[in-house]
Amino acid sequence: MTNALHNSTDSNSMISSSSPSSTIHLQNIVANWHTLAKLSGSAETGVVVKANAYGLGATKIAQALYEAGCRTFFTAHTNEATEIRKAVGPLALVFLFHGLQQDNVDIVISQDIVPVLNSLEQLKLWQKANAPFPAALHIDTGMNRLGLQIKDIADAKDILPEGRIGWVMSHLACADTPEHPMNARQLELFKKVAAVWPQAQKSLCNSAGICLGKDFTFDLTRPGIGLYGGYSRANVFTPKHAITLTAPLLNIFSPEHFEDATIGYGATLPVKPNQRLGTVALGYADGMLRSLSNYGFGYIKGVRCPIVGRVSMDLITLDITNAPSDTSILDRVEFLGQHANIEEQARAGVTASYELLTCLGTRIPRVYEQPEQSS
Amino acid sequence: MTNALHNSTDSNSMISSSSPSSTIHLQNIVANWHTLAKLSGSAETGVVVKANAYGLGATKIAQALYEAGCRTFFTAHTNEATEIRKAVGPLALVFLFHGLQQDNVDIVISQDIVPVLNSLEQLKLWQKANAPFPAALHIDTGMNRLGLQIKDIADAKDILPEGRIGWVMSHLACADTPEHPMNARQLELFKKVAAVWPQAQKSLCNSAGICLGKDFTFDLTRPGIGLYGGYSRANVFTPKHAITLTAPLLNIFSPEHFEDATIGYGATLPVKPNQRLGTVALGYADGMLRSLSNYGFGYIKGVRCPIVGRVSMDLITLDITNAPSDTSILDRVEFLGQHANIEEQARAGVTASYELLTCLGTRIPRVYEQPEQSS
């Protein structure tokens, strides 16, 4: 799987020595899907490719997963669903989480997109549309965000009886905390309400949900972050990294050390004696969030270098005192990848790996490392 | 200025009833530039349009400002500089903050882009290139990020003497804290080092620096955030809002109230009795940062509604109990704009307005409200 790699890029923008860049490891994403499919047991394993596949490139990733055998794709917005339909062709199932509105009924039906109905209003709209295929139904079992309320189940069954609903879904609020009582409570409630449409397929699990075990996986699972290298559970699931993000050093210097000498905006951090600093062409406009200021890190030739001072819009300063002494201008620093673990970087920024991925900016070209063709 | 508006959009993506959208108020950006130009006194007032004009659209904004009389534009990356050159034509000055590398010398010279030189290496490269126009020099006066170190000034003067340096610049670390002693210290040091190239133009100020007064503005100012509605100083500068960001309600519901009923991921917030919630098609993948969870807000028909629970990737839930009772599905919620002040939203998210702008995602079409043509 690891040899015979072919690279392609999404972007017309010049990848220059002074620009950030990223490599998207399609073969690792495919490997993560296989691992999650194994954990999903007898359930089919779909993939969540909304938000441009968490920022990494929906078309390329959907195509690689389709090649690997995946046939079910989940999106949030209508134009995401039509992008995926175009990417993977007519044979795949494409779900639309945000469901149905007056102005997307025609495109949903003509593009054969399965709307995930979230309210009685959406159910009535689907009934009226009289589509030649069934819809999915999302029931809110405790997340209190989107989905049909429990009290509306009987009405829903009247509007769309058995046969008109092909899938019943819900979403776990606390799947990444296995011991949280919410998980068992949502599971029991889901079983009860899903039984109202006994012939419909059942789906409850995201990546973390899959790791809760076979009681949760039902007929169809919907991993997202696990594909993209961003969730792990000890002894159960450790994903491969999906992205390597690097940017070049623009400046290397030893700042003058005196009382009140500081680093960066707001003068938040004093200069240390004999400190060596390196400033990198990457900033929060590229998705390295300001919350990483003084806490995040980059790797230079395998050596961890802490972010010092505030992250700026286009620049990050690192303490490179411990980096190899031959480190020089335009050497590239890894901020996400094999060394710079995404979960650890996210914790340093008081956020989640999801957000580090979806915030990656448009100045970062995505170069795709292709999996070996199976044919 | 406010009538005869013509709208255009940057995007081929469908603006549907269930999508987020934004309006970029070009006439307000131009008005902010005029205000900052007045505050800049006799200095010329350039504009910072790096990072796609802080996420709002560099080409459209540069063109509107050029129409209004602006002739100097600042960028960070080489492809940003070439985009601006194309947008504004051959007569404007285009600066490149990240300076010179081996692989951009040719394009910098052929496109007539002024590199802002940051190190002795870059100065030598410029000397060797023998370009037909002078470069700019950035001297680090205490930010400890990018720019020539003070100890290298004499060498720099040897490499590029009077005439070869057209501009000397530095950057303030604490300009948004007027009382910070750093401001006076950087000012004095800048005066001293800038005098080494007496005929060069001098430039020190960003938006906040301009508000420090005439001692700081020198020959050329470089506002960024103030143009985009994101910095204010009492009795000195209050910008007009540059963007209105809205997204539609996908769901309105009264959650069941019982012990342990909670809202959103991680079950971070209990449901209140008789609470009404509304879930909006906008999330952190669109730039509404996770740090806004339980602290940010949206406005429905002028009524402020707090974000409740965690911001999700594609969805935000609001407490809409106090919103008008006729609020219905697909009504649009304002998250940035005339009501939802960007500085206040940024404080709620423990970040800066800069980051709220640069993180705005690609799913949000930018619709441009054009200023009245002066011709």
Determine whether the interchain pair B313/A51 forms a contact, defined as Cβ–Cβ distance below 8 Å.
yes
What is the three-class DSSP state of B109?
helix
d(CA A285, CA A283): 5
d(CA A3, CA A116): 40
With vertex at residue A339, the alpha carbon angle to CA A338 and CA A341, rounded to the nearest 5 degrees, is 80
Determine whether the interchain pair B98/A174 forms a contact, defined as Cβ–Cβ distance below 8 Å.
no
Q: Which residue in B14, B312, B359 is closest to A78 by CB distance?
A: B14
CA distance B219 to chain A (A): 23
pLDDT, position B2: 35
> Residue B16 contacts by C-beta under 8 Å, 6 or more apart in sequence?
A78, A79, A101, A103, A104
d(CA B73, CA B49): 7
CA torsion, ordered B165, B167, B172, B176, to nearest 10 deg: -170
What is the three-class DSSP state of B56?
coil
CA distances from B83 to A210, A364, B86, B173, B319 (A): 46, 16, 5, 28, 43
DSSP character at residue B175? T
CB B30: neighbour CB atoms within 10 A? Answer: 23
Q: Evaluate whether ipTM surpasses 0.90.
A: yes
- Sequence-ordered strand ranges (E) for chain A: 7-9, 21-25, 44-45, 47-48, 72-75, 93-96, 113-117, 135-138, 165-169, 201-203, 220-221, 243-253, 262-263, 269-270, 277-280, 297-300, 303-306, 316-319, 332-336, 366-369
Report the topology of domain A26-221. TIM Barrel (3.20.20)
d(CA A64, CA B317): 34
Q: Which residue in A330, A351, A362 is closest to B101 by CB distance?
A: A330
pLDDT, position A3: 35
Determine whether the interchain pair A267/B78 forms a contact, defined as Cβ–Cβ distance below 8 Å.
no
What is the three-class DSSP state of A192?
helix
- Of A48, A44, A37, A89, give the one whose Cα is nearest residue A67: A89
Determine whether the interchain pair B312/A78 forms a contact, defined as Cβ–Cβ distance below 8 Å.
no
CA distances from A200 to A139, A172, A218, A283, B312 (A): 13, 19, 11, 47, 27
Q: Which of B100, B143, B188 to mutate to test the interface with A (most CBs of A within 10 A)?
A: B143
Amino acid at B17: S
Length of chain A: 375
Q: Note which residues in 19-58 of chain B have CB less than 8 A from chain A.
A: 19, 50-52, 54-55
d(CA A295, CA B186): 27
Q: Is B271 on the interface with A (CB under 8 A)?
A: yes
pLDDT, position A4: 36
Q: Is A330 on the interface with B (CB under 8 A)?
A: yes
> Residue B298 contacts by C-beta under 8 Å, 6 or more apart in sequence?
B280, B304, B305, B307, B316, B318, B333, B334, B335, B340
Whether B151 is a known active-site residue: answer no
Q: Which residue in B79, B118, B142 is closest to A250 by CB distance?
A: B118
pLDDT, position A205: 98
CA distance B375 to chain A (A): 35
Whether B50 is a known active-site residue: answer yes
List the structure tokens of B182: 């750093």
CB of A182 closer than 8 Å to CB of B259: no
Contacts of A145 in chain B (CB under 8 A): 251, 263-264, 279, 309, 312, 315, 317
CA distance B1 to chain A (A): 31
DSSP character at residue B241? P
pLDDT, position A371: 74
d(CA B155, CA B284): 48
What SS3 string covers B7-49? EEECCCCCCCCCCCEEEEEHHHHHHHHHHHHHHCCCCEECEEC
Q: Note which residues in 219-248 of chain A have CB less than 8 A from chain B.
A: none
Domain residue spans of chain A? 26-221, 243-369
CA distance B346 to chain A (A): 12
Q: Is A3 exposed, middle or buried (0-12, 13-18, 19+ CB in 10 A)?
A: exposed
Residue A313 labelled as part of a binding site: yes
What is the three-class DSSP state of B267?
helix
What is the three-class DSSP state of A84?
helix
Mention the CATH class of domain B243-369.
mainly beta
pLDDT tens for each residue of A66-122: 999 999 999 999 999 999 999 999 999 999 999 999 999 999 999 999 999 999 999
Q: How far is CA B374 from the centre of its chain?
A: 25
Secondary structure (DSSP) of B146-157: SSB-GGGHHHHH
Residue of A nearest to B260 (CA): A182
Amino acid at B324: P
CA distance A142 to chain B (A): 7
Amino acid at A55: G
pLDDT, position B371: 74
Q: Is B218 on the interface with A (CB under 8 A)?
A: no
Contacts of B251 in chain A (CB under 8 A): 118-119, 145-147
Residue A145 labelled as part of a binding site: yes
Q: Is A351 on the interface with B (CB under 8 A)?
A: yes
Amino acid at B24: I
d(CA B48, CA B232): 17
CB of B239 closer than 8 Å to CB of B205: no
Secondary structure (DSSP) of A158-174: HHS-BTTEEEEE---SS
Packing angle of the helix pair B58-67, B26-39 (nearest 10 deg): 60
Length of chain B: 375
d(CA B331, CA B362): 22
Tens-binned pLDDT, residue by residue, of chain B (375 aa): 333 345 666 544 457 899 999 999 999 999 999 999 999 999 999 999 999 999 999 999 999 999 999 999 999 999 999 999 999 999 999 999 999 999 999 999 999 999 999 999 999 999 999 999 999 999 999 999 999 999 999 999 999 998 999 999 999 999 999 999 999 999 999 999 999 999 999 999 999 999 999 999 999 999 999 999 999 999 999 999 999 999 999 999 999 999 999 999 999 999 999 999 999 999 999 999 999 999 999 999 999 999 999 999 999 999 999 999 999 999 999 999 999 999 999 999 999 999 999 999 999 999 999 876 544
Q: What are the residue ranges in chain A where pLDDT is below 70?
A: 1-14, 372-375
Q: Is B179 on the interface with A (CB under 8 A)?
A: no
- Which residues of A are marked as active site? 50, 265
List the structure tokens of B276: 């009404």
pLDDT, position B94: 98
d(CA A219, CA A170): 13
> Residue B53 contacts by C-beta under 8 Å, 6 or more apart in sequence?
B60, B61, B62, B228
